[in-house]
Structure 1
Amino acid sequence: MSNLQEKESFQLVTQNLQQWQGRDEWFFNRKYTDTYEEYYEGPYKRAEVWQKKVLASLVKSDDRINTLLEFGCGTTRFTRWWQEIGIEACGGDISPFMLGQAAQRFQGDLVMADSHHMPFKDHTFDVLAFVTTFEYYKDPVKVIREAVRVGKYGIVFGMMNRNTPKLIRRRVQQQFGRNHFYVTANFYTPKTLKAVIDKALKGRDYSINWTTTGLPKWFPVQQWNVPVGDFFGLHVKLNDVD
């Protein structure tokens, strides 16, 4: 295949992906994917520290977890970190642009796939992780069912919380075209996410634990079990598997 044919083939693939879920998504735009890591190195650095503390506390609460698949891994910002805390991690994403960034940063396995149809056998991993990506799925029930099919012991969610004073700021930014990341995002609270999980896992034996962070610097605590804050972590632990 010539270079021109390869370029045309890639453009056709990305054009089809841009209509994934029937809408434009920021993660198919290189203007945003190529600079994604800069946000964590800049204004979100402090937030990232606390987000990782929350997620680590949830994962480490289940000593059955040794392997993890992070779907919507993006540039592998968190996928790389799972490795640092002793979890063998792989990444999956629908965006070739995100995965192009990921391949330069991550030494582990990556797969380009749709979270609604994960290309893995049952119980391939101990747990599935979604970190600030579950907010973009149009069929979250289907994604959860796929996640517990592939992740034997459950799911770990890292979520942008709807219960935050910054919600108004997020929406105002969108109206003025200043924040393309949240245009198609569906913000959850621990309560509304739990309702989706209950629907998806009806008939299964599981338990849920969650905690919140993303509180102002001046606040006396930075992590608590009150559903208010910019970010919450939630762990679904499946109890009906050996």
Structure 2
Amino acid sequence: MTQISKKEKFDVATGELRNWQGRQEWFFNRDDTDHYEAYYEGPYKRQEVWQKKTLEGLIKKDSRVESLLEFGCGTTRFTRWWHEIGIQATGGDISPFMLAQGVHLFDGDLVLADSHHMPFKDHTFDALAFITTFEYYKRPIEVIREAARVGKYGIIFGMMNRNTPKLVRRRVQQLFGRNNYYVTANFYTPASLKELIAEALPDRDYTIEWNATGLPKWFPRQQWKLPYGDFFGLYVQFNDV
């Protein structure tokens, strides 16, 4: 388990990790974390179905992946699901409030740690997963390199897409303080994420495949290879191991 530095002081009374990444994050606020599962069970349910289909279609093509570490697992919403598609999953998160819920929902291993310093040996897992959590890292290059160290065969990302009409709505909600989840988020596109991966892993041999979803319910397709939609999945498959 990663220790918290003196500069990143944890307030037990409020559950707030002060100065982590130099800012306050919604996942240390119980007003936000306590409603996380309900959000997925309510207005986000249909989107979740298609997000999982997208992620499964990508990672199942790599038959080497039998075990996975999901970092930023939160309440284990997706961590529980990996088992359903035949992948043994472990979860990691830095929020004690999220993991406090996850431990009651997930029958597997969980670790309280920082994704910049994962408490695992090299190649402990076949793959690493970041599902709607990578958007919150201020030092994403470090996180990608750490993921490549711990995950032997690949990294799978599930991302909130910048190329969506809902981006305007997200920013307006932020402006009026109505949606704390997006205040510190940095939204990516498939192209911008690929550029970041190339910068982080210049000496690795890998291939990338991605798909987008999160399209309007009335749209004739719910998944496509165009970089538009509320969500995209991207898998980095390592070819040099």
Offset of 1:11 from its aligned partner?
1.1
User: In the aligned structure 2, how far is the partner of 1:68 from the partner of 1:12?
Assistant: 33
Query: For residue 72 of structure 2, what is the amino acid of its counterpart?
Result: G
| Residues 152-211 of structure 1: CA deviation (Å, up to 9, x unaligned) | 001000000000010001000110111100000000000000010000010110000000
2:150 aligned with 1:140, yes or no? no
2:125 is paired with a residue of what secondary structure? Answer: coil
Q: CA deviation at 1:14?
A: 4.0
Identical counterparts, % of pairs: 72
Deviation at 1:13, TM superposition (A): 9.5
User: What is the number of equivalent residue pairs in this alignment?
Assistant: 232
User: Which amino acid counterpart does residue 107 of structure 1 have in structure 2?
Assistant: D
After TM superposition, give the deviation of residue 18 of structure 1 in Å: 3.1
Separation in 1, partners of 2:18, 2:56: 33
Partner of 1:99: 99
Which stretches of structure 1, 4 residues or more, deviate above 3 A after TM superposition? 12-15
Tell me how far apart the structure 1 counterparts of residues 82 and 200 of structure 2 sit (CA, whole Å): 26
1:185: which partner in 2?
185
How far 1:214 moved relative to its partner? 0.2
TM-score (norm 1): 0.94
Unaligned runs of 5+ in 2: 1-9
1:156 corresponds in structure 2 to 156
**Partners in 2 of 1:174 and 1:59 — Cα distance?**
33
Partner in structure 2 of residue 174 of structure 1: 174
Inter-partner Cα distance in structure 1 for 2:93 and 2:43: 24
Equivalent residue for 1:28?
28
Look up the match of 2:197: 197
User: Secondary structure in 1 aligned to 2:121?
Assistant: coil
| Structure 2 match to 1:49 | 49
| Counterpart position of 2:86 | 86
Secondary structure at 2:69 match in 1:
strand
Cα distance in 1 for residues equivalent to 2:92 and 2:13: 21
Q: Which amino acid aligns with 2:12?
A: Q
Q: Which residue of 2 aligns with 1:116?
A: 116
